Structure 1
């Protein structure tokens, strides 16, 4: 089962429950796979929200049975190191620091940590140590925001 098929199946369900479907990660494993779904809401999400979505998603997966074999289902908030899945999510966090890993090297590198600059068409630009790199979304294996712990600590002290 492809991740795209799982998204087609589960995104409408999560959104019908009143949550934002941030994305999913599906890790196949011959013995035990993992399906991790990220959700969010206007005020964030808590444990009860994750439990609600988990119950509904599990019921849908039991009916549709899209995943062969055993797997664990996890429903989570995106957290401080929020994963990025769609061009819209990248655009929402322009100016933020992120870590990106590419499938194929771009200018000799596969790992990028820097500021998200622009989203244009099917690419995102990231500035790393004063250099700008442009990556195709199809070439991004993984992307996450980098939490600004200094800013978070400063907010806490206020």
Structure 2
């Protein structure tokens, strides 16, 4: 069994004790760094990451899954990490997104809703000129046509 598959099983075991927390990604990098990204429907605390880290680390050592020395990193995806799961989109409803489509188009707007197949944003068509409001139009984007979507940070 490959390492990432076994780690995924271990993480899922632990997440049964942490309602609302889910796996975003698991990667074993060539430099022996094991990265586990988790997120939560209602946010994620450092304690949640620590619980997963302790559990997975203990089980990996106990089962001798990884024979050489490795670094284990459990964290939430950073703000610059693209959204990949429907659950991530759902928790960001109401926030501004930057979406790059598979055709290369760039769209920005407030995330209004999410289904299993698509997202709906209030796309900014024309940026507002000083004293005027930006023009927006509702746009439905199939998830299959999203190359990358990131939450935009506002410093207003």
What is the CA–CA distance in structure 1 between the aligned matches of 2:55 and 2:78, rounded to whole Å?
21
What is the CA–CA distance in structure 2 between the aligned matches of 1:70 and 1:113, rounded to whole Å?
43
Asked whether the 8 Å contact 2:97–2:111 carries over to 1, the reply is: yes
- Could you list the runs of 5+ residues in structure 2 that have no partner in the other structure? 126-136
Corresponding position: 1:149 with 2:121: no
Aligned partner of 2:23 in structure 1 is 23
Q: Which has the higher helix share?
A: 1
Asked whether the 8 Å contact 1:19–1:39 carries over to 2, the reply is: no
Aligned partner of 1:60 in structure 2 is 59
Aligned partner of 1:155 in structure 2 is none
What is the CA–CA distance in structure 1 between the aligned matches of 2:40 and 2:98, rounded to whole Å?
20
Q: TM-score scaled by structure 2?
A: 0.60
Corresponding position: 1:134 with 2:145: no
What is the deviation of 1:141?
Answer: 5.3
Which 4+ residue blocks in structure 1 deviate beyond 6 angstroms? 2-5, 67-70
Q: What is the number of equivalent residue pairs in this alignment?
A: 142
What is the deviation of 1:23?
Answer: 2.8
What is the deviation of 1:101?
Answer: 4.7
**Cα separation, partners in 2 of 1:45 and 1:116, compared to 1, 3 Å:** same
Rg comparison, structure with higher value: 2
What is the CA–CA distance in structure 1 between the aligned matches of 2:59 and 2:108, rounded to whole Å?
37
How much is the aligned-residue C-alpha RMSD, in angstroms? 3.9
Aligned partner of 2:91 in structure 1 is 92
What is the deviation of 1:19?
Answer: 5.3
Q: TM-score scaled by structure 1?
A: 0.59
Within 5 Å, give how 1:114-125 maps onto structure 2: 114-125=109-120
